[in-house]
Amino acid sequence: GNSPPRFSLATKASSDCSPAERLIEAPVSPERSDPVYSQTSSQDSRWHVWSGWWSEEVKGHTEFVEQETDAGHLPAPSETGKKVREITEEITGCFQQEPIKELKLYKIASELLQTERAYVTRLHLLDQVFCAKLTEEAGKGTFPVEVVKGIFSNVGSIYTFHSQFLLPDLETRMSQWDSTPRIGDILAQLAPFLRMYAEYVKNFDSAMDLLKQWMERSAQLNAIIQDIQSQEVCGNLTLQHHMLEPVQRVPRYEMLLKDYLKKLPEDDPDRSQAEKSLNIISMAATHSNTAIRKMENLKKLMEIYEMLGGEEDIVNPSNELIKEGQILKLAARNTSSMERYLFLFNNMLLYCVPKFSLVGQRFTVRTRVGVEGMKVLETSNDDYPHTFQVSGKERTLELQASSEQDKEDWIKAFQKTIEIFQQKNESFKSASKEVVDEVSVKELGKRAPRWIRDNEVTMCMKCKEPFNPLTRRRHHCRACGYVVCYKCSDYKASLRYDGNKLNKVCKDCYFILTGRVDAEEPVSGKKRGILEIEAAQVSGNSFLCGFLQYSTDRTKPCQRVWCVIPQHDALVLYLYGAPQDVKAQCTIPLLGYQVEDVQRSVDHPPSSFRLRQSKSVHYFTADTEEVKLRWLRVICKAVIGEMPECQTPDVGDVGDLANGCHEGVPDGT
């Protein structure tokens, strides 16, 4: 009859609110400033009933101890008193800790739901407003549809996933939090779909570049974007800012889930699912964090680009700003000093003169000093303290910092930059040496080489130009394993270890494997570009050549072009305006493309086919179905890397032949 009323968070109150909601609505105790403690300790009037009962129970024990003390005995610890205190602390801890843990877990889950709702709103803005309106305008022919696709990538798929799957599941779970207080199982089930962010993040840099380029090129595209950005729904933020949100979202999931696991008891049944989802999300977040850093770096480079009045080569993803600041330059001929401004990058120092202008260009670049071969020395000058010297191949500068600390900061920045640059250069040299030792000239092409890893070099191992993800990407020579740029890998040779198939090789390996010499290149000494090959030259020695109707968009009219698949470059389709043109309009590297039939329509007869690879699509139409089949026999071999066979058509079907392997050239061409 004297047992206390049981205190449980699961007990239903008069309203249907969740336990955590009842805690939030509880009055704050004036005795404690901690809001969580206050909410917990003042949550239910039944606490006073229970505490009154407990006070009566311990009262007798307390009086007993007091009597012992008053009687003159030493106040030795009472076993009964100890037991009372232990039970009191245990029960009090239960009342304080359990509600606090459950409250924190609920708050984390609520934050996840609230931020998810806001995020879906932003995705709707990107996909259903920006992308939809630009796609509609592109359909009118104002600008290419491919531009819009290139900018927004797979944001439509991301929006569908969050709006139709993740958000509804979170809302359902939060409405059932009393009976099912967990979120790890939902995230574990849906986290694998976050891998779709890899495509968006990978495309992010090129999307930003494409957006900037076409906002300057197309007045209509720029007007549509500016109009949407001026609306209240955008919150005075640019399209570029909204496009960064999908990149930032995955790291947000990672942060919330880590916090959730910290508050989750070790024996909680949701822990294994939460840990499983965290592993998947952390992998996706790594790519997003890299993209965020790149975006921040590019934004800073753009600011410097504007401050320098459009200085070339600044906005390059391979450039990284290390330090910038105002400094004094000591004159070489006298003791005067001049105000200057330095921009220290990972590969160069820009020595600038300030311009007194409130807008536009603020500095003029006086000298560029490369980090390669740079040295920094501390100097002493009785008239000018805090001086140091920077010496490079281009120029030597004696500089004065504003304080001793500023001087130390500059010297450390220079030393660290020089050290990192030298380490990368040494890795480049050692990687080159390993390749030379491993693959001899006699074995070249006869066995597969060890590929140099991309992160082991920072520059092309042939022309020494630095790599960047936009204009100078990494390629591997299949013969020696070197990491080279696209210009230095613009060669193909058959390799014995790969069944004598044509493979991409570097320039040096090409000449060794083919037995040619540099003298066989044009007299000018400059290698002709891939388009600078005469049509007549390749047509006379090709697997197949002839006229086809060509287009990259089904909605646009086709163009009649002269198509050639030369024997010296069997995996590439050359497109010329006419059979005697000295330069190709474009080339299509066939390897990896899918060959598909085009659905019959008014614009596309049965003799049509298309080549598709990711976002790249090329439409072709032959004069007859027989001609189409001959082209497909060659192309279907090339797209899988096999050597095609010369196609010999029937004379009666196509008329006169240029040679036994080619289609006839129409009269009058």
Residue 424 and residue 448 share a domain: no
Report yes or no on 27 lying in a domain. no
Report yes or no on 79 lying in a domain. no
Residue 110 and residue 259 share a domain: yes
CB 599 within 8 A of CB 573: no
pLDDT value, residue 343 = 93
CA gap 112, 310 in Å, rounded: 43
Residue 232 and residue 284 share a domain: yes
Residue 387 and residue 369 share a domain: yes
Identify the CATH number of the domain in which residue 596 sits. Answer: 2.30.29.30
Report yes or no on 228 lying in a domain. yes
Report yes or no on 279 lying in a domain. yes
Report yes or no on 301 lying in a domain. yes
Last residue of a domain, one of 407, 431, 455: 431
CA gap 373, 417 in Å, rounded: 12
| Total structural domains within the chain | 4
Residue 345 and residue 218 share a domain: no
Q: Which residues pair with 608 in a beta bridge?
A: 621
pLDDT value, residue 446 = 81
Q: Which residues, 6 or more positions from 408, have their beta carbon under 8 angstroms from its beta carbon?
A: none
Residue 476 and residue 340 share a domain: no
Residue 365 and residue 254 share a domain: no
Q: What is the mean pLDDT of each run of 10 residues along the chain (669 residues)?
A: 40 40 38 38 42 46 45 50 58 56 86 94 95 93 92 93 94 92 89 84 85 90 93 88 88 90 88 88 72 72 83 74 91 75 92 79 88 87 84 85 93 93 70 49 78 72 74 83 85 85 88 69 44 71 88 80 84 82 80 80 75 86 90 88 66 33 36
Q: Which domain holds residue 574?
A: 535-640
Residue 267 and residue 244 share a domain: yes
Class of residue 541 by CB neighbours under 10 A (exposed 0-12, middle 13-18, buried 19+): middle
pLDDT value, residue 555 = 72
Report yes or no on 450 lying in a domain. yes
Other CB atoms within a 10 A radius of the CB of residue 404 amount to 10
Structure tokens at 654: 């196509």
Report yes or no on 561 lying in a domain. yes
Side chain identity, residue 9: L
Identify the CATH number of the domain in which residue 464 sits. Answer: 3.30.40.10
pLDDT value, residue 465 = 77
Residue 288 and residue 188 share a domain: yes
Residue 620 and residue 489 share a domain: no
Residue 341 and residue 207 share a domain: no
What does the angle CA 479 – CA 480 – CA 482 come to, to the nearest 5 degrees?
A: 120
Residue 128 and residue 255 share a domain: yes
pLDDT value, residue 529 = 53
How many residues does the structure list for the chain?
A: 669
Identify the CATH number of the domain in which residue 163 sits. Answer: 1.20.900.10
pLDDT value, residue 93 = 54
Last residue of a domain, one of 519, 550, 582: 519
Report yes or no on 527 lying in a domain. no
